[in-house]
Structure formats: structure tokens, C-alpha cells
Amino acid sequence: MNPLPAGETSIKTRILVVDDITRNLQVIGTMLLGAGYEVMPTNSGARALERVRIQLPDLVLLDLMMPEMDGIEVCRRLQEDPLTARIPVIFLTASTEMEHLVRGFEVGAVDYVTKPFNPPELLARVRTHVELRQARERLREMNDEKNEFLGIAAHDLRSPLNAIKGYSELLLEDGDFEAADADILKKICDAATRMAGMVQNLLDANRIERGELRPTLVPTDLGEVTATVVEAQRPRAAAKEQSLQWFPASEPVVAMADRAILVQVLENLASNAVKYSPPGKPIRVRVIPREAVLRIEVQDEGPGLSAEDQKRLFGKFARLSARPTGGESSTGLGLSIVKRMVEAMNGRVGCESEPGRGATFFVEMPRLSATLPNSD
């Protein structure tokens, strides 16, 4: 069966066949050519790696047991190279080599065909994995287009939202309004602020998806950063009659981090604590030095999280059973962004919670001394 639709004039699907036995290359090559594929035959692992540098195949049929460099080593090298890591590898194996297949799958193979070859089986497996790869590439292209569209849309929305927010704040500062009009203005300003936050989340998610999040790690005083975030969140907590309590560490707490990204992470965790805590409840923020890490905790007395919620907590667009206590909105993107940002700084984020007993979100960053090479 030809892998191309009838009348299609695009380049044929290219299959690299690697086997140290010439007869096997001839048999497989004849099958593939008859099915409309382009064949790249080679008789050693080293030559196979040389050929993929010159011309990338769409799929590799790889003999498992070869002299000098076996199929497992070839597959491992293909998977380690970003240019070839997405190319599916199908092993060609004799039944007596089955114990090696587990290792083959561990290094990245997607399937295997046993010798002697059954032509319909071999062609069916090749066709299936070629189609799967083409489908994955189409999905990847669609995802890239989606990310580009979201990035453009979010960027274009940011400027008018900031203008609405800025003008409404200026009018509120003027103060020459009836109480009802001032209340409407405040609602406009609050809505624009929420929308701007959602847009920023979309921009951050898009930046992460496109691989554009590149933290600049420098020695950073976690106590100073955390104190700054706490002070910035006090007005929001006060509006809900919440007590935002800050417990600084009793010793220097310096880690390698990107200050701007860390501020964004902690703002998200602190604002979530305000959002989900009942009015009048305390929120405690502390930095705790530990042997190898510095731990920042944001503890609330909200409804807590079920075990099911905790499983989905850091997923994109997660919708949890807990609801904001002041009618605030949420995109469901915040914590997934937090996780990616913290991990990009070599840190760890998590949550400890029980239903009805609040939640403690934490960020752990390697202590500065733990990130420096030993000078001894």
C-alpha cells in the first residue's frame, strides 16, 4: 500500500533500514519500495548515524543485534540528539533476542518486528508509526499556531485594559463623584485589574509553552523578596479583614534565583491565600532555613484541599472544589505557571493540606552554599 494519498505529488516517506546482513536489507528494501516508500539502506550503526546527519528519515527500522555498535546504542544516540529524537525507531529482532527488547524500549524504541519478516505485519507497523508521527507533527504545528494566536491576542488586550484601569484610577483619585458613581468606577477598575491579571497569565503560559522562560539566576535574598510581596498584598488582605502575618528567618536566607520570577511566584501564592481564605482569618508567611534548601511557606485557614484536588492542583486550567470567598475570578492557569517557573529555577513547589484545615503552599529553593562547587 502506498503511504501517500492517490494523486499526491509530495516527497515520499523516507525509511532508514539498518541491518548488517545484506540479504535482510534487500528483502526489507523490496517490501518498502513496493509499498511506495523511499528506502535508505545501511549495514552498520555507525554508518546509520552518519546518514541521518545528511538526510533525516521519517522512520528507522533498526537491527537489534549488530557487531561493533548494536541497535540499542544507535537508538540511544538518536534519542539524545534533538534533531532525531522524534523519529520513531522499530527494532528488527530474532525471537532469541527478546530479552534485549526491554532495554530497547527503555532507550526509546516504539515497536519491534521479528525475523523472519512477515511482509503484511512489517508494512502495517511501518504505516502505523509513520501515520502516528505525522499526526503528532500536525498537532505540534496546531499547538504552535494556537500559542502564537494566544500570545498576540493577549498582548493586544493588555494595552486597552491598562488604559481602562489607569483612567478609572485617575477618576477615582479626583473624587468629585456621587457615592454611586464612585462605586461604579471602582467596579470598572477592579474588573480591568482582574482581566489584566488573566491576560498576564495567558502571556506567561504562552512564553513557557514556547520555551522562552529563561531565568537569570543570581544570589537573591529570599527574606527581602518575601517581605516585599507581603507588603504589596496587605491592602487586598485588609479589604477582606484578613491578617497577613510575616515571620522572617533569624539568619541570612540567600538562594540562586531570578528575583522577578520569584516575586511573581510568591504574589500568586499570597494572592491565592487571600482569595480562598474567609474574611477575618489570618494568613501566615514565613521563610524557614533547612539544611540544603530554603523553604517559603504561605499558610491559610481556608477550606483546605481534598486528595483529588491536590492531584490536579498544578495542572493547566484546573478547576478545584474550593471557591474564592469574595467572588474573585480565576483562569486556572496560575499554579501551573508557578510550578514551571519554580522548576526553571531548580526549585520545588508543593502543597500540604487537609479538607477543613486550610492549606500550606511552599516553595523550596537550594541554599546558596548548596549550589556552589566545593572549594576544598
Q: Which long-range CB contacts under 8 A does 157-160 form with residues at least 24 apart?
A: 157/195, 157/199, 158/196, 158/199, 158/200, 158/203
Domain assignment present for 169: yes
Same domain membership, residue 48 and residue 191? no
Domain assignment present for 1: no
Q: Can you read off the three cell numbers belonging to residue 181?
A: 458613581
Cβ atoms 202, 331 nearer than 8 A:
yes
Tally the domains of the chain. Answer: 3
Mean pLDDT of the chain: 85
174 alpha carbon, distance to own chain's centre:
45
What is the mean pLDDT of the segment spanning 355-363? 91
Same domain membership, residue 339 and residue 308? yes
Same domain membership, residue 346 and residue 254? yes
What is the mean pLDDT of the segment spanning 6-30? 82
Same domain membership, residue 188 and residue 295? no
Please check the confidence at residue 51 and state whether its pLDDT lies above 90.
yes
What is the mean pLDDT of the segment spanning 77-83? 93
pTM above 0.85, yes or no: no
Picking from 15-19, 99-103, 214-218, 250-254, which range would have the lowest pLDDT averaged per residue? 99-103
pLDDT reported for residue 202: 72
Same domain membership, residue 110 and residue 65? yes
Picking from 116-125, 314-323, 341-350, which range would have the lowest pLDDT averaged per residue? 314-323
Quote the CA–CA distance of 59 and 70 in Å, as a whole number. 18
pLDDT in tens, 108-160: 999 999 888 889 999 999 999 999 999 998 888 887 777 777 777 777 777 88
pLDDT in tens, 260-292: 889 989 998 998 899 888 899 999 999 999 988
Q: Which of 168, 189, 209 is the last residue of a domain?
A: 209
Same domain membership, residue 164 and residue 200? yes
Picking from 29-38, 178-187, 272-281, 356-365, which range would have the lowest pLDDT averaged per residue? 178-187
Domain that holds residue 304: 218-371
Residue in this structure with the C-alpha cell 491576542, named with its chain if needed: 153
CATH code, 361: 3.30.565.10
pLDDT reported for residue 208: 74
Q: Where are the beta strands (DSSP E) in the chain?
A: 14-18, 38-42, 59-63, 89-94, 111-115, 218-221, 243-247, 254-257, 282-289, 293-300, 348-353, 359-366
Same domain membership, residue 222 and residue 101? no
Same domain membership, residue 226 and residue 193? no
Domain assignment present for 3: no
pLDDT reported for residue 333: 65
Same domain membership, residue 354 and residue 258? yes
Please check the confidence at residue 26 and state whether its pLDDT lies above 60.
yes
Same domain membership, residue 227 and residue 311? yes
Domain assignment present for 111: yes
Quote the CA–CA distance of 143 and 58 in Å, as a whole number. 21
Same domain membership, residue 363 and residue 264? yes
Domain assignment present for 4: no
What percentage of residues in the chain have a pLDDT greater than 70?
90
Q: Which of 82, 117, 152 is the last residue of a domain?
A: 117
Domain assignment present for 7: no
Domain assignment present for 127: no
Cis-peptide into 116, omega within 30 deg: yes
Q: Which of 67, 84, 117 is the last residue of a domain?
A: 117
pLDDT in tens, 184-205: 888 888 788 777 777 776 777 7
Same domain membership, residue 226 and residue 202? no
pLDDT in tens, 231-255: 999 998 998 999 999 999 988 899 9
In this structure, what are the phi and psi dihedrals at residue 113, rounded to the nearest 5 degrees? -130, 135
The more confidently predicted of residues 359 and 3 is 359
CATH code, 29: 3.40.50.2300
Cβ atoms 245, 285 nearer than 8 A:
yes
Q: How far apart are the first and last CA of the chain?
A: 66
| 57 Cβ neighbours under 8 A, 6+ residues apart | 14, 15, 16, 40, 87
Please check the confidence at residue 9 and state whether its pLDDT lies above 50.
no
- Alpha-carbon Rg for the chain in angstroms: 29
Please check the confidence at residue 228 and state whether its pLDDT lies above 90.
yes
Domain assignment present for 304: yes
